[in-house]
Structure 1
Amino acid sequence: MKYRELINKMTLEEKASLMSGKDFWQTMDIERLGINSIFLADGPHGIRKQAAAADHLGLNESIPATCYPTAATIANSWNVELGETIGDYLGKEALAQKVNVLLGPGINMKRNPLAGRNFEYFSEDPYLAGKLAASMIRGIQSHGISACVKHFAVNNQEERRMSIDTIVDERTLREIYLTAFEIAIKEGKTKTVMSAYNMLNGAYTNENIHLMREILRDEWGFDGVVVTDWGGSNDRVAGLIAGNELEMPTTAGETNEEIIAAIKSGNLKEEVLDECVDRLLELIFTTEEVYKQPQREFDVEEHHKLAQKAAEESIVLLKNDDHILPLQKDKKVAIIGDFAHNPRYQGAGSSIVNPTRLDNTLDSLNDSGITSIGYEPGFDRYGKNSRKKINKACALAKEADVVLLYMGLDEVTEAEGLDRQNMKIPQNQVDLLSALHEVNENIVVVLSCGAAVEMPWIDKVKGLVHGYLAGQAGTKAILRVLTGAVNPSGKLAETYPLRYEDTPSYHNFPGKEVSVEYRESLYIGYRYYDTANVDVLFPFGFGLSYTSFEYTNIHVTTEGVTFNLTNSGEMAGMEVAQLYVGCQSTDIFRPKKELKGFAKVFLNAGETKTVLIPFDDKTFRYFNVKTNKWEIEEAEYEIMIGASSEDIRLVESHFVAGTGAPLPYEKVKLPSYYSGKANNVSVEEFEELLGYKVPDSKWNRTRPLGYNDTIAQCQYAKGAFARFSFHAITFAHRFLWKIGKRSTANLIMMSVYHMPFRGVARMTGGIINMPMLDGILMIVNGRFFKGLRHVLRERKKMIKKIKVEQPLARMEKEM
């Protein structure tokens, strides 16, 4: 241990105290030993350091910071150098705000389009997500502070996120859900990892020995700190044994006492605690080193310009019929849609950033070169129908040569803690589009949302520019793409299905009660659509340009693949060339093709460059469940270079020698997985893949409710008061939603309805402790008066204890 001498000077109580927060955002300090608190702040796409009351849901305003495009947006750039630059600028802003650990990036897979936090995540592909995350981590940590990659792992739904049990086979876990983390940790060298709320195959992730010890520590060699998601600790001692050092936020010392008791009883070895303390001290001392030097304020304007550049590279042109774009200067343009006036530029929840400034489409028109004849909102932002607004928009559209229609999803639809209900754009916006199409067919839609949506209306538009959630400078970036000042180069980092029912996890998302089963296995996103031959609206990796590119002269060696890329059009531009690999053997089931490399290349008109995409240790590997390690299957592999997963331009066969591992499966027992048609797998076949019986996914409605049951389960409680409370909560949600208080209604679902009872203690900073929670559960389970007496008695004990401890703590500091 690096800090053994210092640790030997600590009391057991001091060591235990370091394992949980001092308050909502800071770690504990030990003044007598020179150990200071460090500050952790949200920051996947901008710093969210709260100046006033702290919370984890984005309710209270934070110190102004640059709001960069969200991860879902940046992923469309396919540019690792850009990712590192954004990380660099995030690091500069973190220094200016005295932040030691920046809680990002988030790299969970986009298993399902409805997952409420998809806007915070990069992609449905682990290789792309991992490479972008690693680059951002390098940028952040170049300033001496720590990034914190999250949420480890298989955290792919928001509903019941604090207690849902994810059931996934080992191969899928390794190849799909852990590969991005592996790349981020090995290549990005992140100093901190955040464990997820959910369970994984029966154990909470931060207590999961297989995940935390065997894979993260032993296999990947991670020697940094693991921090819980806020309120995400279940059994504190079990988490510590698994190597989850830091619990956040504070529990007012309650879980410290659990650690001390476990050591005194022999249930926890003190050496395990010492290891955790040692790793945490390394994080504290290394990230505070930079603050010994004078710190500079960041250049607000310079950072705003980078936010604009990042958005420009990430905007995706999805449709351009009749070359309606770029807009000609002599065309009269009608600006329609509420999002043109009030931009939708980021998601909601813990990642919400208070921007240093916010560009607006209408205010930016004069500098854009667009000849605007006026603006109409056209629709109500939150879905209310208005024939008057539609009529006024149509009257304006009649006078225009081109209509720019700004559509998208609102802030209450895409938010942490909630999954979307469907993949649709609100009907009032679709009605507006239909009405506009009747008076003017030259419509260009500018789309703002953080995840895939259905587009049954797409035949009514000639142009479609997808800005995703483009940050504080996004509106100006979109205008520059619309006018041709910027040649769009973004490509989709996720597939857009024709309809939600086509998605591979349609039958198994979300898990509503105890568990969620990943029956589709490896077949998420394009891996499923390509293999099962399911038509999609827009394939993974798709994006148009104002120029054209030709691919020629492929050459494959053991080191990688080279080819020539030519800009065959008349405008300079950037192309994202993508390397896919497909194994020609049918002995082991695999997707038809998988992304194994990419390169973003700038070319002037007429220019040709030779591009090299190297192979690496992930190009041909698969995880063999019999040998329990990565293997290579001896076979011919198709090496494919494409402009998207569907638009393959060059193909060459390449033989690869294998590792000689035994075949892991009996083909006859896994027909769905060998055919790739894995969207509706039977429980029997899924159990064959897992190697064990699937646990019951339904609640036991007859047993008493406990710590890990949720408030939602009060509908089945024995206690009348609990059932009444449940109905009051659901009524309040419906009422608030109906009267337009949708953010407040969402808050009820996020912070109350799906909260497990233990979360009441873990998230209140000691206001309610576990003994008090025992009394609450008595009330819930039908023993109202006994429970109430217990709550009041434990509350009195806690207050008395605080009155005794506070003077003692002051005396110790003064000594």
Structure 2
Amino acid sequence: MKIRSLAAPFRSSSRNNVLFLSTVFLFMAYATDAQHSAKGDMATEQKIHALISEMTLPEKVSLLHGNSKFNVSGIKRLGIPEWALSDGPHGVRAEVNRHDWAYAGWTNDFATCFPPGTALAATWNPALAYKQGLVLGEEARFRKKDILLGPGVNIIRSPLCGRNFEYISEDPLLVSKMAVAYIKALQSKDVAASVKHWLANNQEEHRDSIDVTMSERALREIYLPAFKASVMEGGAYTVMAAYNRFRGEWCSENNYLNREILRKEFGFKGVLMTDWSAAHTTVKAALTGLDLEMGTDKKDYNEWYFADPLIKAVEEGKVPMSVVDEKVANVLRVMFNTKIFDEKRREQGRMNTPEHQQAAYNAAAEAAVLLQNNGNLLPLHFDKIQSIAVIGDNATRKHCSGGLSSEVKALYEITPLQALQQKFGARVKINYARGYEKQSTFREGNNSGQSGSLNVNWKLIDEAVAVARESDVVLIFGGLNHDFDTESADKQNMDLPYGQEILIQEVAKANPKTVVVIIAGSPVQLAGIVHRVPAIVWSWFGGMEAGNAVVDVLSGKINPSGKLPFTLPVSLAQSPAHALGNFPGSDLKVNYEEDILVGYRWFDTKKIQPQFPFGYGLSYTNFSISQFSTDKTGYGKNETIQAKFTIRNTGSVYGAEVVQLYVSDPLCSVLRPEKELKAFQKIFLKPGETKTVEMPVKVADLAFYDESKKAWNTEAGDYILQLGNSSRTIFQKVKISVK
């Protein structure tokens, strides 16, 4: 495009010369940049080699294990500073004591709290992921943190996984796009990302002992792509090894994962660290590629596997010095990449700025998914409402401080009731009733705290019914809390806890104008309420601006544009891992028998109707999509398909649609999903506005992993491109052929 604009003012006779010269100049510029980069890399490697040559063995080893909960020793005499790590997928975690998990009680570690992973994914907007990465990078720099432990890119395999809320999606492409944007932005602020959890940490039950088995095809098509993109496209500086075993070997000492795939295939030259206390050996872990041990519970840091035992292993000849030097080089390389030796360090950081808070609001506002809006009850016109009933524990509960490692000490957190009172309390009577009570008490590593989740408090229900009867409209804020969506424990079921289903049914009888707002980070069963209430909004754990965002969606100030990042089943038994009885496994082993048919791939291929499909979400406006076409009908395997369509906002309000491009391979030598997401774009349009949008798809991305050839295979034949706004809502199809 730049070349064409340069040439435009000239006569056609001179155009070729201009194009030629422009191309030469561009080539020279790229070549110069590449030369500078190569020289810089060479200079850095020389510095790394020089530093290593000055170190004693104990000094080298001191860089390979923690010296506190979140720090790694430096080497003062060589000018190598201590390394500081922090939890923080969606907010920099508050400071803990150096040698225990108690909070240090600082007054300057209040942070910006974003909505967590599934909520971010529901925006389907990588630009928001990029902005979140920038904010987290600035706040980590302010807190003098060098590594932020995130993002979590594990696939959502089961609705019950306790950490689903931290993860992003059931689809590897959606995970990859959001993660790459997040990582690039974070690391632009000289803070290293730590992509986790490598690999197959798709459940919390027995996470530190379960042995995961899956086919090579499932590994390559479903569970590896987000890690591959994070490293090869995002340039992630560190990767965190998971707790579990993979095909019999601990992830922290799995040669196939760590040496063959991560190092050789992905070209990873950064630091592979353990999850906290996920190391199991010294020699094997050292030889198979682990670099950094964190979190072991032994109080004497010198007793850790990568401390004195590693020194002894080198002295006894069990671990070559070259292996230790490799690890130290990886650590130093990340330090240089994040400019840790630069006293001025480009970004000194900022904390809790208005811009940061606006970014948190934007993420929460775009995440909200309008699931149901019968009779166009939403948006609510507060200028025509005299009274409103606000019901539910989640109307007043704050969630930023829950979830264990992802908990955030937010500067503030606006609840839905607070936002309603601040925005409309002066002119609308707000009648609050709790409706249900939190009966659980989460205990780390034990989900028994979820017991009593179905108990019904009829006194609270009667109070809720009473305020519903005397109000024009009812808002019920239900869903989950971090006793259910949490690290260290899986949910026991998909039920709405604390008798919420009965509460909703009884309130809807008293007042049919009832809107249910689900606050949760993982699927819950809605079958008992979808036919009882006209409107349902999924607003996730919304971070510090949760209340403001959801109230602005309910009032129409914000037009909802979120889409589900996972399939919402009618019941748990529909989900593939549960339909096949292989969650959470038995005898500390689990086989991913559903193979590549994860999430919508299973539902669509097996023709199972979910409650709400992957990619689904309504709007307050309407869109028409037409003129779907490709630039050609036939392609070679190294070409790129240029798909194009026209979209128009046919409604009366500004809004955004997420257009999703799926591809089917109807005739293939192996089983393939009915369709797979290959591209998407979020498009914002004014009323009446029309845009023509292009979506490139590489033909190579249509391939499946051929286990017989141990390679990707794009078979010749016909493929069907399907354009829609969910996996079940397809507007137009185009057939192309691959030679």
Which band: TM-score by shorter chain? 0.7 to 0.9
Partners of 1:51 and 1:268 in 2: CA distance: 34
Q: 1:55 to 1:116 in 2, by over 3 A?
A: farther
**Cα 1:630–1:586 shift into 2, 3 Å:** closer
The residue aligned with 1:808 is none
Structure 1 equivalent of residue 597 of structure 2: 523
Residue 331 of structure 2 aligns to a residue whose secondary structure is helix
User: Displacement of 1:427 after TM fit?
Assistant: 4.5
**What is the root-mean-square deviation of aligned Cα atoms in Å?**
1.8
Q: Please, which moves more after superposition, 378-387 or 32-41?
A: 378-387
CA offset at residue 286 of structure 1?
3.4
Q: Is the 1:44–1:103 contact (alpha carbons within 8 Å) kept by the matching residues of 2?
A: yes
Moved more, 481-490 or 230-239: 230-239
Equivalent position of 2:495 in the other structure: 424
Report the alpha carbon displacement of residue 54 of structure 1 after superposing the two structures with TM.
5.6
Q: Distance between the aligned counterparts of 1:597 and 1:346, measured in 2?
A: 35
Q: Are 1:112 and 2:170 an aligned pair?
A: no
Does the Cα contact within 8 Å between 1:335 and 1:372 map onto a contact in 2? no
* Match in the other structure for 1:362: 417
Alignment of 1:610-629 (within 5 A): 610-616=692-698, 619-629=701-711
**Aligned residue in 2 for 1:373:** 430
Aligned counterpart, 1:560: 642
Q: List aligned pairs for 1:122-271, cutoff 5 A.
A: 122-249=168-295, 252-254=301-303, 255=305, 256-271=307-322
Aligned CA distance change for structure 1 residues 363 and 128 (closer, same or farther; 3 Å): same
- State the 1:282 CA deviation: 1.5
Q: Which amino acid aligns with 2:79?
A: G
Distance 1:568 1:258 in 2: 68
May I ask how many residue pairs the two structures share in their alignment? 657
Query: TM-score, structure 2 length as denominator?
Result: 0.86
Give the whole-Å Cα distance in 2 for the aligned partners of 1:367 and 1:522: 48
Matches within 5 A, 1:549-698: 549-557=623-631, 558-616=640-698, 619-657=701-739
Contact 1:437 1:460 in 2 (8 A): yes
* Runs of 5+ consecutive residues of structure 1 not aligned to the other structure: 658-815
SS at match of 1:597: strand
- For residues 445 and 144 of structure 1, the distance between their equivalents in structure 2, rounded to whole angstroms, comes to 42
Measured after TM superposition, the shift of residue 649 of structure 1 is 0.7
Structure 2 stretches lacking a partner, 5+ long: 1-44, 440-452, 632-639
Aligned counterpart, 1:314: 367
Measured after TM superposition, the shift of residue 16 of structure 1 is 1.9
Partner in structure 1 of residue 469 of structure 2: 398
Residue 531 of structure 1, CA deviation: 0.1
1:453 Cα deviation (Å)?
0.7
Flag the 1:56–1:106 CA change in 2: closer, same or farther, 3 A. farther
- Asked whether the equivalents of residues 448 and 466 of structure 1 are also in contact (C-alpha less than 8 Å), the reply is yes
Report the 3-state secondary structure (helix = DSSP H, G, I; strand = E; otherwise coil) of the residue aligned with 1:458.
coil
Q: CA deviation at 1:491?
A: 0.2
Please tell me whether the aligned partners of residues 346 and 470 of structure 1 are also in contact (alpha carbons under 8 angstroms). no
Amino acid aligned to 2:546: G
**Aligned residues of 1:58 and 1:349 also touching (Cα < 8 A):** no
Cα offset, 1:298, TM superposition: 2.6
Q: Is the 8 A contact 2:400 2:409 kept in 1?
A: no
- One-letter amino acid matched to 1:323: N
Q: What's the offset of the Cα at 1:165? A: 0.5
What is the CA deviation profile of residues 384-422 of structure 1, one whole-angstrom value per residue up to 9, with x for unaligned ones?
532222111111111112100010112212211101000
Q: Distance in 1 between matches of 2:191 and 2:734?
A: 44
Partner of 1:714: none
Aligned CA distance change for structure 1 residues 482 and 533 (closer, same or farther; 3 Å): same
SS at match of 2:541: coil
Q: Contact 2:417–2:547 (CA<8 Å) still a contact in 1?
A: no
Match of residue 74 from structure 2: 29
Contact 1:311/1:471 (8 A) holds in 2: yes
Separation in structure 2 between the aligned mates of residue 399 and residue 58 of structure 1, nearest angstrom: 45
Which residue pairs with 1:300 in the alignment?
A: 353
Shift in CA distance, 615/404, structure 1 to aligned 2, threshold 3 Å: same
Report deviation, 1:265. 2.6
Deviation at 1:122? 0.3
Cα 1:618–1:372, aligned 2, differ >3 Å: closer, same or farther?
farther
Letter of the 1:253 partner, please give it.
N
Displacement, 1:617? 6.5
Q: Distance in 2 between the 1:472 and 1:152 partners?
A: 29
1:249-274 residue CA offsets vs partner (Å, 9 max, x unmatched): 36512222222222233222211111
Q: Report the equivalent of 2:23.
A: none
Of the three residues 93, 99, 108, the one matched with 1:48 is 93
CA distance in 2, matches of 1:213, 1:644: 38
Determine the C-alpha separation between the residues in 1 that align with 2:136 and 2:415.
23
Aligned to 1:534: 608
Q: Kindly provide the amino acid, as one letter, of the partner of residue 364 in structure 1.
A: A
Rounded Cα–Cα distance in structure 1 between residues aligned with 2:194 and 2:589: 27
Q: 1:88 maps to what in 2?
A: 134
Partner of 1:340: 395
The alignment partner of 1:421 has SS state of coil
C-alpha deviations, 1:634-680, integer Å up to 9, x for none? Answer: 121101111100001110001113xxxxxxxxxxxxxxxxxxxxxxx
- 2:65 and 2:116 map into 1 onto residues whose CA distance is 29
Q: Which amino acid aligns with 2:630?
A: V
Give the AA of the match of 2:684: F
Which amino acid in structure 2 is aligned with residue 80 of structure 1?
P
Counterpart residue type for residue 277 of structure 1: V
Q: Following the alignment from structure 2 to structure 1, what is the Cα–Cα distance between the partners of residues 99 and 554?
A: 40
- Measure how far apart 1:572 and its partner are: 0.8
How far off is 1:552 after superposition? 0.4
Q: Residue 389 of structure 2: SS of its match in structure 1? A: strand
**Does 1:352 pair with 2:407?**
yes
2:283–2:310 CA contact under 8 A, matched in 1: yes
Q: Which of residues 475, 498, 517 is equivalent to 2:547?
A: 475
The alpha carbon displacement at 1:363 in A equals 2.3
Question: Are the structure 2 counterparts of residues 401 and 533 from structure 1 closer, same or farther at C-alpha, using a change threshold of 3 Å?
Answer: same
Deviations 1:534-581, CA, capped at 9 Å, x for gaps: 110000000000001111001113432110011111111000000101
TM-score by length of 1: 0.78
State how far apart, in whole Å, the 2-side matches of 1:462 and 1:289 are. Answer: 59
Q: Choose which of 455, 470, 488 in structure 1 pairs with 2:560.
A: 488
| 1:284 alignment counterpart | 335
Shift of 1:150: 0.5
Identity of aligned residues (%): 39
Query: Would the aligned equivalents of 1:58 and 1:350 in 2 still touch at CA under 8 Å?
Result: no
- Displacement of 1:300 in angstroms is 3.1
Q: Which letter maps to 2:179?
A: A
Distance 2:575 2:211 in 1: 21
Q: Is the 8 A contact 1:70 1:346 kept in 2?
A: no
**Correspondent of 2:533 among 461, 473, 491:** 461
* Kept in 1: contact 2:199–2:242 (CA 8 A): yes
Per-residue CA distance 1:583-604 (angstroms, 9 max, x = gap): 1213111101001110000011
Structure 1 residue 66: Cα displacement: 0.8
Question: Would you say 1:323 and 2:383 are equivalent positions?
Answer: no
Could you tell me which of 433, 438, 441 is aligned with 2:509?
438
CA distance in 2 between partners of 1:378 and 1:277 (Å): 57
Distance 2:585 2:557 in 1: 46
